[in-house]
Structure 1
Amino acid sequence: MSKPLSSHVTVPLPQAMWNRIWTCRTLLKIKSFLWKAVGGALATGMALSKRKIPLEPSCPRCGAASETIEHIILANPFAKAVWFGSHLALNPYQSQSLSVPEWIMNWSSLLILGKEESRKDMSLCSFIAWNIWKARNELVFSSKAGSPYEVLFNPQQAHSELFTLRGSPPTCNHGVRNAPDLPLYWKPPISPTFKLNTDAALTFKKDKGDLGFVMRDHSSNMVYASSEPNSFTSMLLGEGLAIRLGMIQAIGEYIDHLEVESDSKKMISFIQDPSRNALADISPVVNDISHLSSFFRSISFSYIPREINSVADSLARKALSILCRIDWPHSTPWLQEVCLSDALALTHLFQ
């Protein structure tokens, strides 16, 4: 049974679509935009052409023959650059037949970092889609082309402010995240030590895994950042592979003093206590990490909450959309932004 529709929506939509849009944690105007987008009620070039309005139906940005809503927010090169440049590192239009309703319903399968994290990421998807649409309108009506980075910065900042103001709903607390000995923000190491943050990501079907790591110095400056597609079937193994990958790079950079941080408490516990019997699939990786540790004059391993491991998390997500390892230039805009957010959080804490 479908919900009663606004007069602006031209096609009937199922209950599941209604629930997905109107329960999304986003602004009311963005919910309205998404509702119109899935209902075929936005004034795209093709939509206006079908209504016999004498306007050019092609895309004003790339010249494609049919400017549909799918083309605007998912398929054109500008939109693809925005999505891939975001923290989500998405390539949303891998299938030419994918519609906006199907894409929205697929949000939960694309983002698998747990219920609360997925809700935040679905909300960010809504902000990005809205700002891509706004950028298209600025191009059409004001001849302002803009850049993917400009379009991306606004929704991520607004989304962050929304969650800061509203806060997150109560969640089950097992005494881990709020433990007094856990850091509440990312802290740079003390010179001459470097800090390595690592993370892993696993696709929904668990048929592809991805690794990310970042090394920074005592001034929070990025020394090295990398994303690498990999193959593993469990997150625990992936977390170990990410730590091993980052340590190998640190050895190659002639780093003598290293702090390693991961948001996998179990993997850190196996590394810190060699007497524990590690699972069969991760035992070789734990042994490798133990051996690599001998190459450093000093090294430590610490667990941190996911919330303050955002740079490594973003790097791991980037690997979901690439075919081979990428060592990111220091000047990469989205990477600078994520690293800067960590540094600013630290600065604000002590103001």
Structure 2
Amino acid sequence: MKGFYFPHCSLLDASKSKLSSWAWKSLHEGIELLRMGTRWNVSNGNDILIWQDKWVLDLLSKSLSPPPMDHDSPRLVKHFINFNNWNKLVWHFTKGSSYSVKSGYRMLMNSYSCSPFIGSSRADNNHSATWKKQWRLNAPPKIKNFIWRACRNVVATKENLSRRHHVQDAECHRCDEEVESLEHIIFFCPFAQAVCNLSLFEGVVSDPIHVWNAAFQCFIGYVNGLEDESTTIPNNVFAPSQWQSPPVEVIKINCDASYCSKGSFAGLAVVCRNSNGVIIDGASLLEKAASVHAAEAFAIRLAVQLARDKGWRHIIVESDNLALINCLKNSKAEGYWESWAIVEDINLSLFHSFSFSFIHRQGNRVTNWVAKKTRTRDCPLDWMHSPPDDLVGLLSNY
């Protein structure tokens, strides 16, 4: 397909013409969606245009606005960095950067929320109460979805498919009597009448005992499924809910971040304690961050940098962000794409004996307090040496 439709460019840069096939035109609609929701995760910067491509984390919805440039001005991101890794195109509406139909649908619905959207119940404000009742029906999701599609006449009947030139014959293949419209397949087709409701159309009443026996067998199967060891849900990841002191000659560094989405910044906090639980050092600062996951990664990086500057040799870095801890302990765990570059920077900064551990938020309350006060600019400069009463109360619980 590449050799025929886009031999000299990438898939996202491919175009369509009036002579393109129907299949390629249909695929191209999906390409437009991918263009809206993808961005570059930068490593070496090759092939990423500074002003045309989306690669700045804080500007996910648009590219940079280019200033006047001469012919000698740098045009590729690689001119600013020196990494020997491949760039990766990511879908920034999911955790792991991979496209999903659910995230694509949500993105399209959000983009159309400020304008009329033909074919959506959102555009029919006069019947909003009816739509709400329909979605609140005590029925399986697939039934409610079918009712919505039927009300909007977007079921893939032969009548609708022929209107879009997907099929030539619009007659019902069950009865070969009428056009396969929505009304026909639900109400008027003899096959549908025979399958859907024998009691209504032919007066056939099912035996209540037979119905009860069938329901009881389903219940027995459900109970057996619950008792089956293969269907049990694994226990939650074990982690202490209270702070625990490290071994002798080991320093434990707890870190946390408090994120403000309105200003895209976060308060970072690092608290360093010895085997006796005494605070021996720490740090707090405001950092620009594009997401809470990036902010948490910045806090861990701050902890690693502090340990390196102090020359400590045996370190335990502890955080309440399980996804980040898994990424740092296992290189195959992807985690959140917003923190990939920061995690890579952390791994490059590691030295001597470093280990990472996860702790529940309850056990990380001291660092969380410092991070919140830093974000609101209420944290005293000498909080390590003269901790406020609130912080003293938290420390006394450990």
Scaled to the shorter chain, the TM-score interval is: 0.3 to 0.5
Greater relative contact order (Cα 8 A, min sep 6): structure 1 or 2? Answer: 1
Q: Which structure has the bigger radius of gyration?
A: 2
TM-score (norm 1): 0.43
TM-score (norm 2): 0.38
